[in-house]
């Protein structure tokens, strides 16, 4: 059983607490307006498919991904594989949501099923099957374990998630699962897409919305995974928190009495009560020290988030 280095908690404890508070707020606010929730779910499903595929090199843009999913059309100049990747991911999403509805926990069987969706009509020979040969990952700072060890390592990973020997919160568990899965690299192809779905089963079963890693964070994502290979989970945990906070904030906006007012950071910096400039607020957002999330390449936060940070700093000085 693994022993996870949890030094990241020193910097991220308040971030974890904020995200858990937001999850609890959503729980208390349910049921949310059904039409609003369905619109958010549909929108995030397209974004999830687009971003996950784009990280792996799929060239269909967000609008084209929407067209393939909702209109069943093909896009001129794009390969059939890219179209299959969109439809396969979308079908796997439906399977994932069904598992959440039925409160099924993550297991090796469900992971194989998700992977089977991913490679359907692409690599049918390997779809839903663990690799039986060695692989090397371009740009990674490690070599995945021998194929003969993959099955046992996957069983060990599932057992770690189920027993949670270090009493990790769901965000930590999902992040550790994500990294260890990528390190094991159980399949010849489709590992990234599969794990970015499967790890969300841990989060969604714990009452969180899905954490969607954005295409624009691709380089940051791979850098964070390489750092985790050396036992440093700080960057990967922070990236996961940022992805999760974005989804939480989107759902909280559907709460009928929500007062959340998120704006681009340059507008927040113009508020007369805010003593910080745009660059410093942006730094706080990137470090996860304030309630903020990313849309495209732009960070959004609220006046309340910055004022809460200022208030917390003052209280710490008094103590």
Catalytic residues, by residue number, are: 185
Query: Token pair of 217, please?
Result: 């964070």
Rounded to 10 degrees, what is the CA torsion of 186, 190, 194, 196?
Answer: 110
Residue pair 224/236 in contact by the 8 Å Cβ criterion? yes
Rounded distance between C-alpha atoms, residue 39 and residue 55, angstroms: 24
Under 8 Å between Cβ of 134 and 149: no
> Residue 155, Cβ neighbours under 10 Å: how many?
12
User: What is the distance between the alpha carbons of residues 267 and 227, in angstroms, rounded to a whole number?
Assistant: 34
For residue 42, what are the contacts with CB-CB under 8 A and spacing of at least 6?
A: none
Kindly tell me the burial class for residue 77, based on how many C-beta atoms sit within 10 Å of its own C-beta (0-12, 13-18, 19 or more): exposed
**Residue matched to tokens 């704006």:** 263
Residues 269 and 276: beta-carbon distance below 8 Å: yes
Sheet holding 292-295, edge to edge: 263-264, 298-301, 292-295
Adjacent-strand bridge partners of 301: 263, 292
* Residues whose CB is less than 8 angstroms from the CB of residue 305 and which lie 6 or more positions away in sequence, other chains included: 290, 291, 292
The two structure tokens encoding residue 233: 């989970």
Do residues 233 and 226 lie in contact, with contact meaning Cβ atoms separated by under 8 Å? no
Q: Please give the structure tokens belonging to residue 74.
A: 């093909």
d(CA 171, CA 179): 13
């Amino acid at each position: 059983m693994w022993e996870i280095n949890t030094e990241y908690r020193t910097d991220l404890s308040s971030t974890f607490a904020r995200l858990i508070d937001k999850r609890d707020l959503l729980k208390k606010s349910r049921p949310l307006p059904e039409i609003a929730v369905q619109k958010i779910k549909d929108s995030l499903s397209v974004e999830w498919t687009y971003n996950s595929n784009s990280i792996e090199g799929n060239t269909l843009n967000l609008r084209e991904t929407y067209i393939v999913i909702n209109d069943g059309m093909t896009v001129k100049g794009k390969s059939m594989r890219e179209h299959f990747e969109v439809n396969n991911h979308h079908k796997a999403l439906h399977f994932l949501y069904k598992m959440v509805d039925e409160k099924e926990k993550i297991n090796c069987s469900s992971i194989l099923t998700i992977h089977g969706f991913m490679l359907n009509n692409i690599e049918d020979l390997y779809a839903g099957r663990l690799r039986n040969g060695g692989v090397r990952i371009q740009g990674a700072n490690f070599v995945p374990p021998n194929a003969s060890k993959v099955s046992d390592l996957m069983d060990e990973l599932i057992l770690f998630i189920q027993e949670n020997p270090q009493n990790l919160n769901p965000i930590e568990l999902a992040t550790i699962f994500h990294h260890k899965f990528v390190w094991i690299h159980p399949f010849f192809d489709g590992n990234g897409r599969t794990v970015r779905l499967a790890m969300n089963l841990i989060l969604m079963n714990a009452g969180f919305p899905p954490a969607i890693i954005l295409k624009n964070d691709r380089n940051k994502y791979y850098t964070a995974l390489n750092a985790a290979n050396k036992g440093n989970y700080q960057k990967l945990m922070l990236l996961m928190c940022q992805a999760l906070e974005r989804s939480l904030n989107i759902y909280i906006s559907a709460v009928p009495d929500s007062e959340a007012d998120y704006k681009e950071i340059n507008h927040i910096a113009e508020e007369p009560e805010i003593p910080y400039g745009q660059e410093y607020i942006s730094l706080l957002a990137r470090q996860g020290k304030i309630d903020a999330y990313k849309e495209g390449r732009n960070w959004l936060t609220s006046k309340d988030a910055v004022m809460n940070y200022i208030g917390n700093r003052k209280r710490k000085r008094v103590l």
